[in-house]
Structure 1
Amino acid sequence: MQQWLAAPHPSPRQVSVLILVPTRELASQVSRTLDQLARTLPGNVKILPLFGGVSINPQMMDLRGGADIVVATPGRLLDLCTRNALQLFSVKTLVLDEADRLLDLGFAEEISRIITLLPNPRQTLLFSATFPTEVQSLAEQQLREPQRIMLAATDSDRPAIVQRAIHVDETQRGDLLLTLIRDEGWTQVLVFVATHRMADQLAKLLNQANIPAAPFHGELSQGRRSQALAAFKEGSLQVLLATDVAARGIDIVQLPTVINYNLPRSAVDYQHRIGRTGRAGASGLAISFVTPISEAHFRLIEKRQQQRLVREQIAGFEVQPAAILTTNTGAGGIKGKRKSKKDKLREAGKSD
């Protein structure tokens, strides 16, 4: 905003700042924050959020006369550039918000295409709460002699999140979710699942049990996603069943409970998921359902998080010890169950 105030303002407007984000909801959220900051400034800053899932025509109309700051998802931005509705030759500042997500394989090709449309020199800023090694190497390819600024959390800043791990059989998770919601009296629960199909199925299960629930994933129209999120925030929707699209950037004030129905793919995603609760000084609860099959994966997440959680057992949902043995995924199977080469030779009478 300071740079915009100090810079000349050509007519028609030219985009001086481009902010790229991974999700539609984050584009709206960042745009609202910038609008709030701009209200007290002299002059009129034109800030446009651009994202998919909605008709492109109104966005093309909004771009007539240019814009000062654009907040966009990569796919929709490229669509608008292809249609010559948006020019990026004047961009002086590029911001990658949730940079680790934007630089992973899901967005890397689109980001590369966008960068070819931008001028040099420019300032590039990467923002992220987590910065894995593989993403750091990608960032180094995009930046020249970057300055790294680390804002370490103090003890007072650290979220007060109680983490729990519940051992449960794969087929019992749905019933366990129902039981916990009822017994614990939770009024607002964000549940993370692996696929949009599972989100749809669980939403149906919960609604049949008179628990207001809705799915939230990338296959839904933007209208349905916005409606579900708004209902969840205002409290008329008790449970939101989300894929990882919701893990980045969504700010739900005083969200009390997050559940990992399916474990995330990585420790980084785990951190972003549970970070939806315990925000702005509030306390929160994060529960992970750990099945015999996913036990080894959760141990890896714990190792990366430098912690070890007690595995709880809920009455009526106890995991049978035999299930843990039969789902051992280590190379070579379970020791003692497979015949050795020497045993086979003995049986064939070829060895003593």
Structure 2
Amino acid sequence: MRSLVATTAVALSVVLVAGCGTDSDSGDAPASSSSSTPVAAEPAVAPAPTVTPAGTVIEVGNEPEGVVIGTSGIAAVGVRRPDAITLVNVRTGTVIRSIPTSGAPRHLELAGPDGPVILPLETSNTITELSFDGTFGPIATGVGDLPHDAVRTSDGTLVGTNEHGGGALFIRDGKLVKSLPAGPPQPGGVAAVGRYAAMADVQGNGVFIYDGTTMTEVASKRIGTRLTHAHALGDGLVAFADTDGGAVLVERITPQVVDVSRIEAPGKPYGLSYDARTKTLLVTLGSSNKLRLVDMTDPAKPRIKGDVPTVQQANSVAMDPVTGIVAVTGSAPGEASSLQIIPADQLPR
């Protein structure tokens, strides 16, 4: 049975300057429906679950997508129509507040262990940051065409993916200081590895590496079928969801891209998260309504711990780095307001 928690609206007088972007399609969709446009990897269209999702499910807002959790146990969840960030205490399972934004959030990243949250707002071509107390940081406007994901490299540069414009975006002190053309013609997820940003291309062109300090492309490699998300694992490693290839690919960034291992993940793998304490990789299997946990103690020989039943079309996942509680967003029609919270003792060991 679904546990419903009413969202407490908080009126915040925060003004973000909107751009000309139109609302994006769901998933990492192609920039055009033209037959000449290469097909991009997209999230699964999942059937209704046949197994009750683990843990509890609460309401957080419409069409939840990206989710991150800080060391305080507060989760930030990106929702749409109306566009907002919903803050949730995953340790108590309660909604704290909803913070309106002037564009639709998609991927969310943490700039530090307890924030701020790096917040690309796709439909207003804006990238900003948001602390867990609801305070916005510098606001960079006029940023590319549908900025999809962004990470902070070790020198403090925000490196973002210009999904519909191709290539990379570089932001310092709240200003777009440089943009590079493709590179990846339609970049999706990105992960920070020291001074480098490792970027996945959803049209099947593999991985592109950018140096945040010099703001240059320094390496690339064609891997997998069509990638979507990327997540850093520490020690120079990055996991890439090969959504159309049914696998997660683990690569070492030197900054050259070096193959380390392949993890079988049938069912359109999409969302990724990582628990450094237990060296556990979490992967959403969107089309089968499952969350897969993988032991990464030996990155060259990953071991699948097991699967957990999720809400319909589990797109994104995050883990509380202190308690091990997991949060999963369900993004399918009819489950569009769901955030699944799974206690650590319900996860495979």
Tell me which interval the TM-score lies in, with the shorter structure as reference length: under 0.3
Q: Name the structure where helix makes up a greater proportion of residues.
A: 1
Q: Which has the higher strand share?
A: 2
The normalised TM-score by structure 1 is 0.25
